[in-house]
Structure 1
């Protein structure tokens, strides 16, 4: 059993911390707790004034900013529901997301308001608007009486995150307080931290460089706040900035996704710069065993892979440092063992439980699971896996066609639909190819419309950039007179893959 965690209670307990305590480091400067607390209090009072109490859905344009941490404290500390909106989205898609989710209020930092493109839909829908700065509330505007949206509370739901589905367009995932509390409690049991609770904002720092709109970033921030740890918040990850943080704070444990690990290894960073690190957790995407070995050989740092998903409010399995030290040589390629309180099993398509070591579909039993839990308490995933006699989990692929680029999921149909809106494109096919640095990259093959000439790769990518998230833009794009098809007239995937038989030596820059 894992230790129960009262997340709202832990956040409210931070109000006992001294105002002068350094709580958050942004751009190399410390934000004292008093500044965060004051902004969180202002947001809470504004929500109270709008009549939005416990369980109310509160939309937040969430970036890795001081204002976002204050919003998290205000909303989750008072048991409201944080409805997340991604500022990296193109304006048209962000507006559509706002219309679909329809929160009664939207909290937006002043720094992001002008570029968000949300002024028109917020006004048209009659949504209340709270604009924030790092110093306080910049403006508050109540929604119109004739608002076209109806406020719908979400009791028990802590966070609504938008994620890419495996069989369709992105969907909003509700994560309950129970799920998040189980996730934090399970991870604490897995890492087996020493000693009791620390004093407010003392001890080591938590480095949060994954976007807060991703479950990895959200979970990292919540765990740190719940444990009263200082946070170093990076608006975006760069190797130079991350190294500055490592050199300054000398942490024993850090975290990097596989793509960042590959960047680190390519840069030949001096061993002494990373001397404090004993381990790096690595999630968001599968990590190559060769990369794990290379980091260990060069730096003596153990790379601790973890496995999870947004639907499970974070990780459900992974490597601990003692396990890695004892077992890695024998269990190379595993993603580790189940976290405390988590059950894992492998089943056939018909649900029959498979014997130890056999491959099949992975099912998970945990309090971290949400609405997809079956009648028997198990949740079916779309991952193919096996579990050995010592409980180590091996992920062998996916039963669907989702693309995971550097930890971010891409649904091919989303990219396909954008490409097919180009007037010179008759049909498009989108799929993933293996990539050494990012795990996978999206690529596209388009069939030219009748009478249209071939489109250059640059033209296709330029068409995509303003219409989708940066990581969704195809890394490569080809035009063919006709898409290759099999006898059933379905597009032939082997023939498509063959078109990319000679990929470029390096991944195109992330757009």
Structure 2
């Protein structure tokens, strides 16, 4: 049994009668979570691919833990991508086991008769198992076939091994790390979607630390704030879009009393927003850099680094973490010196000691103290009449406008210039501004070729489950088609 599977099983049995998950105002115990997991696990053989139509609910958490405790492979299926696409995805996967709610199984899965089907309700209702035809299992190395966020195209799956997940949620010494001896008295809040690695990571981290948690169906300001006031967690996690909602809300320092740090990742967060959050709430924002392909984070801020370095390193995403190595290289792969801009390469600690360098599409620089700055995506650069425009630079300039809550910038084809930047804007509550006023605002902040040729002000920017702007949907707004 892998160390991660053993940790999950051991923690579920630590203190069965106490609280494990709060959902919709009701607490479920570790016994309820363990019993549901054991029932679902009875349908899983080690190494078996198990399709999970994942939603943020206690029964889906039980299903995730069941597959991992049994040594199976979770194949993440997003039940909110549109019925036809989901059906086509499931048909192509030809999964031997499928787990979901009765409605999801009936409306979306249409599993073949050979598949084992597990229908789940709430933790008080035993799952219904319809056995299928036994199949030969695989080697059992893959823990989760995780969906990427799909910001620039259809989501794809990345195989995360048991070792990779264990490094992220237990630590680099996961084979020898001491296990918790009792359930923690501190309550965490999980508001990230389980169909994204951030949700899976946070749930598994809570389980491996024997920490009870509030599970929210999605980030919603009022319910999130109520949970923070009720349990005063020491740390909370907010994607940039959610952090800006909190920042622009009527919440005050008393609402976040007890919170010592906010962690933020998945998308760029400006130093101005981080500073504004600290000024309003007195809480430091610890940004990080991660990717599904890495199996989690590879760089981030610590509280100690924030106290010592933030003023001189603001805007950085922190230093290498979890045993990762970072470097910046030229287009030809030649390593560059401190402070030089190039493509970021990573040796994730989650990939093991003999890992190869992974080249990203992110432009970056690393200073002499090891702090990393992400400067934009090389593959999203817009070439306008021979000039390079980085969408993140334009987005950051727009988001500094006092009326703008969020922005997304993409390239649109132009017969004369080849491509021009266009921007979608979401305004803060009660604010108003015209596209002409925004253009005038940008004239003193950007080069003329960086200013968007078109600005669309919308009620809400379309986003992926991880909170990133859905660039395909943004582009379709302007062009009527995918790029």
Specify the TM-score bucket, using the shorter chain as the normaliser: 0.7 to 0.9
The 3-state SS of whatever aligns with 1:368 is helix
Alignment-derived partner of residue 140 in structure 1? 129
Tell me, yes or no, if the aligned pair for 2:194 and 2:200 is still in contact at 8 Å.
yes
Report how far residue 133 of structure 1 moved.
Answer: 1.4
Report how far residue 401 of structure 1 moved.
Answer: 2.7
Q: In 2 relative to 1, CA 164–72 (structure 1 residues): closer, same or farther, beyond 3 Å? A: closer
Tell me, yes or no, if the aligned pair for 2:411 and 2:421 is still in contact at 8 Å.
no
Q: 1:98-113 alignment to 2 at 5 Å?
A: 98-110=90-102, 112-113=104-105
Question: Which deviates the most, 134-143 or 377-386?
Answer: 134-143
Tell me, yes or no, if the aligned pair for 2:191 and 2:216 is still in contact at 8 Å.
yes
Cα deviation digits, residues 371-409 of structure 1 (max 9, x gap): xx9x97211111111100111000011111399xxxxxx
The 3-state SS of whatever aligns with 1:353 is coil
Q: In 2 relative to 1, CA 439–358 (structure 1 residues): closer, same or farther, beyond 3 Å? A: farther
Q: In 2 relative to 1, CA 443–495 (structure 1 residues): closer, same or farther, beyond 3 Å? A: closer
Q: In 2 relative to 1, CA 167–15 (structure 1 residues): closer, same or farther, beyond 3 Å? A: closer
Q: 1:275-424 alignment to 2 at 5 Å?
A: 275-369=257-351, 377-401=356-380
Cα deviation digits, residues 257-316 of structure 1 (max 9, x gap): 110111111113122111211110001111110000001111100000010100011111
Count of residues in Structure 1 that have an aligned counterpart in Structure 2 = 418
Q: Which runs of 5+ in 1 are unaligned?
A: 48-52, 190-194, 404-430, 446-482
Report how far residue 187 of structure 1 moved.
Answer: 8.3
2:375 is the alignment partner of 1:484 = no
Cα deviation digits, residues 400-430 of structure 1 (max 9, x gap): 1399xxxxxxxxxxxxxxxxxxxxxxxxxxx
Tell me, yes or no, if the aligned pair for 1:55 and 1:154 is still in contact at 8 Å.
yes
The 3-state SS of whatever aligns with 1:219 is helix
Report how far residue 18 of structure 1 moved.
Answer: 3.0
Tell me, yes or no, if the aligned pair for 1:84 and 1:162 is still in contact at 8 Å.
yes
Alignment-derived partner of residue 32 in structure 2? 35
Q: In 2 relative to 1, CA 367–100 (structure 1 residues): closer, same or farther, beyond 3 Å? A: farther
Alignment-derived partner of residue 159 in structure 1? 144
Q: 1:59-70 alignment to 2 at 5 Å?
A: 59-70=51-62
The 3-state SS of whatever aligns with 2:207 is helix
Alignment-derived partner of residue 508 in structure 1? 460
Alignment-derived partner of residue 238 in structure 2? 256
The 3-state SS of whatever aligns with 1:92 is helix
Q: Which runs of 5+ in 2 are unaligned?
A: 383-390, 424-448, 464-483
2:22 is the alignment partner of 1:25 = yes
Cα deviation digits, residues 28-48 of structure 1 (max 9, x gap): 21011111111111111233x
Report how far residue 363 of structure 1 moved.
Answer: 0.7
Tell me, yes or no, if the aligned pair for 1:365 and 1:379 is still in contact at 8 Å.
yes
Cα deviation digits, residues 8-39 of structure 1 (max 9, x gap): 12101124323211111101210111111111
Hey, what's the Cα distance between the residues in 1 that align with 2:136 and 2:46?
A: 13
- TM norm structure 2: 0.79
Alignment-derived partner of residue 58 in structure 1? 50
Hey, what's the Cα distance between the residues in 2 that align with 1:59 and 1:485?
A: 45
